[in-house]
Chain A
Amino acid sequence: MEIRGRAKMNRGEKTFGILITFGILFLFWILLSGLFDVFHLIAGVICSGIVTLMSHDLMVKGKDEKFIGKSLRLFWYIPWELWQIVLANIDVAYRVLHPKMPIDPLLIEFETPLRSDFSLVTLANSITLTPGTITISVEPEKGTFRVHAIAKEPADALLVDQTMQRKVAEVFFVEWSGTDQPTKP
Protein backbone atom coordinates (compact mmCIF):
# COMPACT_ATOMS: atom_id res chain seq x y z
CA MET A 1 0.00 0.00 0.00
CA GLU A 2 2.73 2.35 1.09
CA ILE A 3 4.89 1.55 -1.93
CA ARG A 4 2.02 1.91 -4.37
CA GLY A 5 1.19 5.30 -2.89
CA ARG A 6 4.76 6.42 -3.30
CA ALA A 7 5.03 5.17 -6.86
CA LYS A 8 1.85 7.04 -7.73
CA MET A 9 3.21 10.26 -6.29
CA ASN A 10 6.43 9.87 -8.29
CA ARG A 11 4.42 9.36 -11.46
CA GLY A 12 2.44 12.49 -10.62
CA GLU A 13 5.64 14.45 -10.24
CA LYS A 14 6.88 13.15 -13.57
CA THR A 15 3.67 14.14 -15.36
CA PHE A 16 3.82 17.55 -13.71
CA GLY A 17 7.39 18.04 -14.96
CA ILE A 18 6.53 16.88 -18.47
CA LEU A 19 3.48 19.17 -18.69
CA ILE A 20 5.34 22.25 -17.40
CA THR A 21 8.29 21.69 -19.74
CA PHE A 22 6.07 21.05 -22.75
CA GLY A 23 3.94 24.14 -22.03
CA ILE A 24 6.93 26.45 -21.70
CA LEU A 25 8.61 25.04 -24.82
CA PHE A 26 5.44 25.36 -26.91
CA LEU A 27 4.80 28.94 -25.72
CA PHE A 28 8.37 29.75 -26.66
CA TRP A 29 7.88 28.20 -30.11
CA ILE A 30 4.80 30.36 -30.74
CA LEU A 31 6.64 33.43 -29.51
CA LEU A 32 9.58 32.86 -31.83
CA SER A 33 7.63 31.78 -34.92
CA GLY A 34 4.75 34.27 -34.67
CA LEU A 35 2.74 32.19 -37.16
CA PHE A 36 -0.59 30.63 -36.20
CA ASP A 37 -1.40 28.39 -39.19
CA VAL A 38 -1.90 24.64 -38.78
CA PHE A 39 1.44 23.59 -40.28
CA HIS A 40 3.55 25.67 -37.89
CA LEU A 41 1.49 24.77 -34.81
CA ILE A 42 1.77 21.03 -35.52
CA ALA A 43 5.47 21.33 -36.23
CA GLY A 44 5.77 23.14 -32.90
CA VAL A 45 3.92 20.37 -31.05
CA ILE A 46 6.19 17.72 -32.57
CA CYS A 47 9.41 19.62 -31.83
CA SER A 48 8.43 20.53 -28.26
CA GLY A 49 7.37 16.92 -27.73
CA ILE A 50 10.75 15.55 -28.81
CA VAL A 51 12.66 18.04 -26.66
CA THR A 52 10.36 17.33 -23.69
CA LEU A 53 11.00 13.58 -24.00
CA MET A 54 14.74 14.18 -23.90
CA SER A 55 14.94 16.80 -21.16
CA HIS A 56 11.80 16.93 -19.00
CA ASP A 57 13.76 15.95 -15.89
CA LEU A 58 16.13 18.92 -16.20
CA MET A 59 13.71 21.70 -15.40
CA VAL A 60 11.40 20.31 -12.74
CA LYS A 61 12.94 18.02 -10.13
CA GLY A 62 9.94 16.94 -8.13
CA LYS A 63 7.32 19.17 -6.57
CA ASP A 64 8.38 21.85 -4.12
CA GLU A 65 5.74 23.01 -1.61
CA LYS A 66 7.25 26.48 -1.35
CA PHE A 67 7.68 26.87 -5.12
CA ILE A 68 5.16 29.74 -5.45
CA GLY A 69 6.47 31.54 -2.37
CA LYS A 70 10.02 31.28 -3.64
CA SER A 71 9.05 32.58 -7.09
CA LEU A 72 7.23 35.57 -5.58
CA ARG A 73 10.15 36.42 -3.32
CA LEU A 74 12.54 36.02 -6.28
CA PHE A 75 10.49 38.57 -8.25
CA TRP A 76 10.71 40.89 -5.26
CA TYR A 77 14.49 40.38 -5.17
CA ILE A 78 15.09 41.15 -8.87
CA PRO A 79 14.47 44.97 -8.78
CA TRP A 80 16.97 45.34 -5.94
CA GLU A 81 19.43 43.23 -7.94
CA LEU A 82 18.93 45.40 -11.06
CA TRP A 83 19.69 48.52 -9.02
CA GLN A 84 22.85 46.84 -7.72
CA ILE A 85 23.88 46.11 -11.33
CA VAL A 86 23.57 49.80 -12.24
CA LEU A 87 25.67 50.71 -9.18
CA ALA A 88 28.22 48.04 -10.19
CA ASN A 89 28.63 49.54 -13.65
CA ILE A 90 29.03 53.09 -12.32
CA ASP A 91 31.62 51.73 -9.88
CA VAL A 92 33.58 49.97 -12.64
CA ALA A 93 33.29 53.04 -14.91
CA TYR A 94 34.73 55.19 -12.10
CA ARG A 95 37.65 52.82 -11.55
CA VAL A 96 38.36 52.56 -15.28
CA LEU A 97 38.22 56.27 -16.04
CA HIS A 98 40.00 57.53 -12.90
CA PRO A 99 43.57 58.55 -13.91
CA LYS A 100 45.15 56.68 -10.98
CA MET A 101 42.99 53.50 -11.32
CA PRO A 102 42.04 52.89 -7.65
CA ILE A 103 42.18 49.09 -7.65
CA ASP A 104 43.67 46.69 -5.10
CA PRO A 105 42.55 43.13 -6.01
CA LEU A 106 42.21 40.43 -3.36
CA LEU A 107 40.74 36.95 -2.98
CA ILE A 108 38.22 36.23 -0.24
CA GLU A 109 36.34 33.15 0.95
CA PHE A 110 33.17 32.87 2.99
CA GLU A 111 30.56 30.29 3.92
CA THR A 112 26.81 30.39 3.43
CA PRO A 113 24.01 28.11 4.63
CA LEU A 114 22.70 27.69 1.06
CA ARG A 115 22.72 24.16 -0.38
CA SER A 116 20.21 23.86 -3.24
CA ASP A 117 21.52 24.29 -6.80
CA PHE A 118 19.19 27.14 -7.70
CA SER A 119 19.98 29.23 -4.63
CA LEU A 120 23.74 28.77 -5.15
CA VAL A 121 23.43 29.81 -8.81
CA THR A 122 21.37 32.86 -7.81
CA LEU A 123 23.93 34.01 -5.24
CA ALA A 124 26.88 33.31 -7.57
CA ASN A 125 25.34 35.27 -10.43
CA SER A 126 24.35 38.09 -8.08
CA ILE A 127 27.91 38.35 -6.75
CA THR A 128 29.29 38.47 -10.28
CA LEU A 129 26.89 41.23 -11.29
CA THR A 130 27.23 43.44 -8.20
CA PRO A 131 29.96 46.05 -7.58
CA GLY A 132 33.56 44.87 -7.77
CA THR A 133 33.21 41.13 -7.12
CA ILE A 134 33.26 37.99 -9.28
CA THR A 135 32.64 34.43 -8.12
CA ILE A 136 35.59 32.12 -8.84
CA SER A 137 34.31 28.84 -7.45
CA VAL A 138 31.54 27.35 -5.31
CA GLU A 139 31.63 24.26 -3.08
CA PRO A 140 28.05 22.96 -3.17
CA GLU A 141 28.52 20.61 -0.14
CA LYS A 142 29.70 23.28 2.29
CA GLY A 143 28.20 26.35 0.60
CA THR A 144 31.67 27.94 0.39
CA PHE A 145 32.24 30.76 -2.08
CA ARG A 146 35.63 31.92 -3.34
CA VAL A 147 35.37 35.46 -4.70
CA HIS A 148 37.74 37.82 -6.49
CA ALA A 149 37.21 41.43 -5.36
CA ILE A 150 38.67 44.40 -7.19
CA ALA A 151 39.26 46.50 -4.04
CA LYS A 152 38.73 46.40 -0.29
CA GLU A 153 35.30 48.08 -0.07
CA PRO A 154 33.41 45.56 -2.26
CA ALA A 155 35.05 42.71 -0.32
CA ASP A 156 33.87 44.23 2.95
CA ALA A 157 30.33 44.48 1.57
CA LEU A 158 30.34 40.67 1.25
CA LEU A 159 32.33 39.82 4.40
CA VAL A 160 31.02 42.35 6.93
CA ASP A 161 27.63 43.64 5.80
CA GLN A 162 26.44 40.38 4.16
CA THR A 163 23.32 42.10 2.82
CA MET A 164 23.27 40.00 -0.32
CA GLN A 165 23.69 36.62 1.39
CA ARG A 166 20.89 37.55 3.79
CA LYS A 167 18.57 38.59 0.96
CA VAL A 168 19.20 35.40 -1.05
CA ALA A 169 18.74 33.26 2.08
CA GLU A 170 15.43 35.02 2.67
CA VAL A 171 14.31 34.33 -0.90
CA PHE A 172 14.96 30.59 -0.47
CA PHE A 173 13.55 30.34 3.09
CA VAL A 174 16.91 29.49 4.68
CA GLU A 175 17.09 30.39 8.37
CA TRP A 176 20.20 32.51 8.87
CA SER A 177 21.38 35.61 10.66
CA GLY A 178 24.95 36.15 9.45
CA THR A 179 28.07 34.07 10.15
CA ASP A 180 29.60 36.24 12.87
CA GLN A 181 26.45 36.82 14.89
CA PRO A 182 25.35 34.20 17.42
CA THR A 183 22.34 32.23 16.23
CA LYS A 184 19.15 33.18 18.03
CA PRO A 185 17.11 30.38 19.60
Chain B
Amino acid sequence: MVLVNGMVTLFLAGGLFFTLVGSIGLLRFPDFYTRLHATGKCDTLGTSLILIGLIIHHLFHYSGTPLVPVRLLFLVFFIFIANPAATHALMKAAYEVGVKPWKLGDERR
Protein backbone atom coordinates (compact mmCIF):
# COMPACT_ATOMS: atom_id res chain seq x y z
CA MET B 1 0.00 0.00 0.00
CA VAL B 2 2.95 2.30 0.67
CA LEU B 3 4.17 1.59 -2.86
CA VAL B 4 0.75 2.43 -4.36
CA ASN B 5 0.51 5.65 -2.38
CA GLY B 6 4.03 6.58 -3.42
CA MET B 7 3.21 6.02 -7.09
CA VAL B 8 0.00 8.04 -6.81
CA THR B 9 1.92 10.87 -5.14
CA LEU B 10 4.57 10.74 -7.85
CA PHE B 11 1.97 10.98 -10.63
CA LEU B 12 0.10 13.82 -8.92
CA ALA B 13 3.36 15.70 -8.28
CA GLY B 14 4.44 15.27 -11.89
CA GLY B 15 1.06 16.50 -13.12
CA LEU B 16 1.20 19.51 -10.82
CA PHE B 17 4.77 20.29 -11.95
CA PHE B 18 3.88 20.29 -15.64
CA THR B 19 0.69 22.32 -15.10
CA LEU B 20 2.73 24.84 -13.10
CA VAL B 21 5.40 25.00 -15.83
CA GLY B 22 2.65 25.60 -18.39
CA SER B 23 1.32 28.53 -16.36
CA ILE B 24 4.79 30.02 -15.89
CA GLY B 25 5.42 29.66 -19.61
CA LEU B 26 2.14 31.46 -20.33
CA LEU B 27 3.43 34.41 -18.31
CA ARG B 28 7.07 34.38 -19.49
CA PHE B 29 6.91 33.68 -23.23
CA PRO B 30 6.87 36.72 -25.51
CA ASP B 31 3.92 36.27 -27.91
CA PHE B 32 0.73 34.38 -28.73
CA TYR B 33 2.30 31.46 -30.62
CA THR B 34 5.04 30.69 -28.11
CA ARG B 35 2.55 30.91 -25.23
CA LEU B 36 0.46 28.27 -26.98
CA HIS B 37 3.56 26.07 -27.10
CA ALA B 38 3.70 26.18 -23.30
CA THR B 39 0.01 25.67 -22.56
CA GLY B 40 -0.87 23.25 -25.35
CA LYS B 41 1.74 20.69 -24.39
CA CYS B 42 2.02 21.03 -20.63
CA ASP B 43 -1.74 20.99 -20.05
CA THR B 44 -2.13 17.75 -21.99
CA LEU B 45 0.51 15.82 -20.08
CA GLY B 46 -0.14 17.53 -16.71
CA THR B 47 -3.87 16.79 -16.70
CA SER B 48 -3.29 13.25 -17.94
CA LEU B 49 -0.71 12.51 -15.22
CA ILE B 50 -3.08 13.80 -12.53
CA LEU B 51 -5.90 11.62 -13.95
CA ILE B 52 -3.62 8.55 -14.11
CA GLY B 53 -2.71 9.11 -10.47
CA LEU B 54 -6.41 9.27 -9.59
CA ILE B 55 -7.07 6.08 -11.59
CA ILE B 56 -4.42 4.15 -9.63
CA HIS B 57 -5.71 5.55 -6.34
CA HIS B 58 -9.28 4.55 -7.16
CA LEU B 59 -8.30 1.05 -8.32
CA PHE B 60 -6.64 0.22 -5.01
CA HIS B 61 -8.72 2.11 -2.48
CA TYR B 62 -12.27 1.82 -3.93
CA SER B 63 -12.13 -1.46 -5.84
CA GLY B 64 -15.93 -1.87 -5.51
CA THR B 65 -16.62 0.48 -8.44
CA PRO B 66 -14.38 -0.62 -11.35
CA LEU B 67 -16.25 1.48 -13.93
CA VAL B 68 -14.99 4.79 -12.55
CA PRO B 69 -11.31 4.22 -13.54
CA VAL B 70 -12.44 3.20 -17.02
CA ARG B 71 -14.38 6.47 -17.34
CA LEU B 72 -11.32 8.41 -16.20
CA LEU B 73 -9.22 6.53 -18.76
CA PHE B 74 -11.65 7.67 -21.47
CA LEU B 75 -11.23 11.20 -20.19
CA VAL B 76 -7.45 10.91 -20.70
CA PHE B 77 -8.03 9.56 -24.21
CA PHE B 78 -10.34 12.44 -25.16
CA ILE B 79 -7.99 15.04 -23.70
CA PHE B 80 -5.22 13.61 -25.87
CA ILE B 81 -7.40 14.03 -28.97
CA ALA B 82 -9.07 17.34 -28.14
CA ASN B 83 -6.17 19.34 -26.69
CA PRO B 84 -3.87 19.31 -29.75
CA ALA B 85 -6.87 19.96 -31.98
CA ALA B 86 -7.88 23.00 -29.92
CA THR B 87 -4.28 24.31 -29.89
CA HIS B 88 -4.11 23.90 -33.64
CA ALA B 89 -7.45 25.69 -34.11
CA LEU B 90 -6.26 28.68 -32.06
CA MET B 91 -2.97 28.78 -34.00
CA LYS B 92 -4.71 28.67 -37.35
CA ALA B 93 -7.22 31.38 -36.39
CA ALA B 94 -4.42 33.66 -35.19
CA TYR B 95 -2.36 33.02 -38.32
CA GLU B 96 -5.26 33.76 -40.68
CA VAL B 97 -6.21 36.95 -38.82
CA GLY B 98 -2.60 38.04 -39.28
CA VAL B 99 -0.95 37.91 -35.86
CA LYS B 100 2.77 38.28 -36.60
CA PRO B 101 5.05 35.64 -35.04
CA TRP B 102 7.63 36.99 -32.60
CA LYS B 103 11.23 36.88 -33.85
CA LEU B 104 14.38 36.81 -31.75
CA GLY B 105 15.25 40.40 -30.75
CA ASP B 106 11.71 41.82 -30.97
CA GLU B 107 9.93 43.50 -28.08
CA ARG B 108 7.74 41.17 -26.06
CA ARG B 109 4.00 41.69 -26.50
Contact = CB atoms under 8 A, between A and B. Distances in A.
B104 interface: yes
B101 A107 contact: yes
Interface residues of A, number: 30
Interface in B92-109: 92, 95-96, 101-104
A107 B21 CA distance: 24
A135 B18 CA distance: 22
A103 B34 contact: yes
Nearest to A88: B41
A97 B88 contact: no
B15 to A, nearest CB: 11
B25 to A, nearest CB: 4
Contact of A129 (B21, B44, B96): B44
Nearest to A124: B88
B37 to A, nearest CB: 5
Contacts of A128: 40, 84, 87-88
Contacts, number: 93
A133 to B, nearest CB: 8
Interface string A72-83: 000000000000
B45 interface: yes
Interface string A98-137: 0001011111000000000000000011001100101111
B21 A125 contact: no
Contacts of B103: 105
B17 to A, nearest CB: 8
B84 A92 contact: no
Interface of A: 31-32, 34, 85-86, 88-89, 92-93, 95-97, 101, 103-107, 124-125, 128-129, 132, 134-137, 146, 148, 150
21 contacts: A31-B70, A31-B74, A85-B44, A85-B45, A92-B37, A92-B41, A92-B42, A96-B25, A96-B29, A103-B34, A103-B104, A105-B34, A105-B104, A107-B101, A125-B85, A128-B88, A134-B33, A134-B37, A134-B91, A137-B92, A150-B37
Interface of B: 17-18, 21-22, 24-25, 28-31, 33-34, 36-38, 40-42, 44-46, 65, 67, 70-71, 74, 80-81, 84-85, 87-88, 91-92, 95-96, 101-104
